[in-house]
Structure 1
Amino acid sequence: MLPALSHVDTWIFDLDNTLYPARANLFALIDARMTAFVADLLKVDRIEAFRVQKEYFLGHGTTLAGLMAHHDVDPHAFLSYVHDIEMDVLEENAPLAAHLACLPGRKLVFTNGDKPYALKVLDRLGLGASFEAVHDIIAMDLAPKPSASAYAGLCAAYDIDPARALFVEDMARNLKPAKAIGMTTVWVDNGSEQHHDADRDYVDYRTDDLTHWLEHILEAR
């Protein structure tokens, strides 16, 4: 293990565009379903629905949070609708599974999606047995990353010492609250970030390929 990470005993991973490459473009299918949901709900065309969707995403952390705040949308109906997609663009990643198995300590998934969807993605990637648990948007009481309560709830649920935890995420802004409570942070900079900060001092490590990064830290002795 890379000496600088020898203190880590809890490894926390985002799901979408983190455990699989952004080039798979799976989230584009979800994005299209969200646009369709908003268009139907507000009775607007797809262009306006997409604008509203992104406004809510940037302003509330997720499109769902914005829809709940402004339109009292049923979260379960929304999640069921937007996650009803085919996953044939995802491929099994045996090297990633092997690297995860070599990490010392616990492994968790921390996602703004819901657990049924996350489990389907993990199974498709060959990572179904790689993680102890999935902490999803329902477990967060529907207050998504980057809400501070989401991180506090995760730590409380699994008795995590943030100073001994590492969090991997493709949305850099979701790393800021993790760093604030003492976690080591890893940004998977693969082009999926939709919010740009000039100052990213809260990012400890940066990579464009999680599998290769894990291989590097495991071989660095």
Structure 2
Amino acid sequence: MLLPADVETWIFDLDNTLYPAASNLFARVSKRITVYVQERFSLDHDAARALQKDMFRRHGTTLRGLMVEHGVDGEEYLHFVHDIDVSDIEQNHALAEAIGRLPGRKIIYTNGSVPHARRIMGRIGVDHHFEDVFDIVAADYVPKPNPDPYDVLISRHRIDPKRAVMVEDMARNLEPAAALGMTTVWLSGTLDWATEGAGEDYVHHVAEDLTEWLNRLPV
């Protein structure tokens, strides 16, 4: 593990990483996706869910599949599916303090959108610690773990991968980061489908609790 003093850039995923999967926030988005697919294609619930899962499985995100195969408007989709209630998301002062004590800059890298990320970050109380949000729009709607947007992220923010740490709840999303030379941290204990790749050598460190793990770092 790089010593924190040697880290220039900390890259954090958003969903199920800065907030716990147990909050079911991502499940709310998933339900909105199902509704969007139902309305867009005049399908019943089960057929819409089947299409949603098929797009996700084959394209990395449902949005990417719908854009590639059905010409769906990305901006319209993102606005619809992120229209969820987040009022029960509480501030996490301990996490905010843990992130705040890290030297170097911090960036969010998410398959979601900037407005969605900013809403959640504001509720948690960590938004002021982050320099930028690199979202699915900035990635030209190409989702993780496709390596192309990782290159865009590095170029846009002039990141030295060998002095960067990436934290993710989906283990497979760490593969391109490790290939570029980043130190990777998998946040375990989230969702079963997020464990794919957890045993691979591109996962350098495993954290069960993000705040606890950050507080153990010798800053």
TM (normalized to structure 2)?
Answer: 0.94
> Counterpart in 1 of 2:35?
36
Per-residue deviation, 1:198: 7.1
Amino acid at match of 2:170: M
> Counterpart in 1 of 2:24?
25
Unaligned runs of 5+ in 2: none
Per-residue deviation, 1:9: 1.4
The answer to whether the 8 Å contact 2:10/2:107 transfers is yes
Q: Distance in 2 between matches of 1:184 and 1:26?
A: 28
> Counterpart in 2 of 1:144?
143
Counterparts in 2 of 1:1-221, with a 5 A limit?
A: 4-194=3-193, 196-197=196-197, 199-218=199-218
Q: Deviations over 1:156-200 (max 9, x none)?
A: 010001111000011111111111111111111123252523742
Q: Distance in 1 between matches of 2:2 and 2:160?
A: 19
Q: Distance in 1 between matches of 2:29 and 2:198?
A: 28
Amino acid at match of 1:214: L
Deviates more, 1:74-83 or 1:195-204: 195-204
The answer to whether the 8 Å contact 1:21/1:209 transfers is no
Amino acid at match of 2:51: V
Per-residue deviation, 1:7: 2.6
The change in CA–CA distance for 1:39 and 1:12 in structure 2 (over 3 A counts) is same
Please give the root-mean-square deviation of Cα atoms over the aligned residues, in Å.
1.6
Q: Which runs of 4+ in 1 moved over 4 A?
A: 2-6
Q: Deviations over 1:49-98 (max 9, x none)?
A: 11221221122111100100110000000000000011023110111111
Q: Distance in 2 between matches of 1:99 and 1:135?
A: 21
TM (normalized to structure 1)?
Answer: 0.93
Secondary structure, counterpart of 1:116 in structure 2: helix
Unaligned runs of 5+ in 1: none
Secondary structure, counterpart of 1:86 in structure 2: coil
**Identical pairs, percent:** 46
The answer to whether the 8 Å contact 2:186/2:203 transfers is yes
The change in CA–CA distance for 1:40 and 1:3 in structure 2 (over 3 A counts) is closer
Q: Distance in 2 between matches of 1:72 and 1:208?
A: 39
The answer to whether the 8 Å contact 2:185/2:203 transfers is yes
The answer to whether the 8 Å contact 1:118/1:134 transfers is yes
Per-residue deviation, 1:3: 6.1
User: How many residues are paired up?
Assistant: 218
Secondary structure, counterpart of 1:206 in structure 2: strand
The answer to whether the 8 Å contact 1:18/1:169 transfers is yes
The answer to whether the 8 Å contact 2:16/2:190 transfers is no
Per-residue deviation, 1:4: 4.6
Secondary structure, counterpart of 1:97 in structure 2: helix
Amino acid at match of 2:38: A
Q: Distance in 2 between matches of 1:181 and 1:149?
A: 11
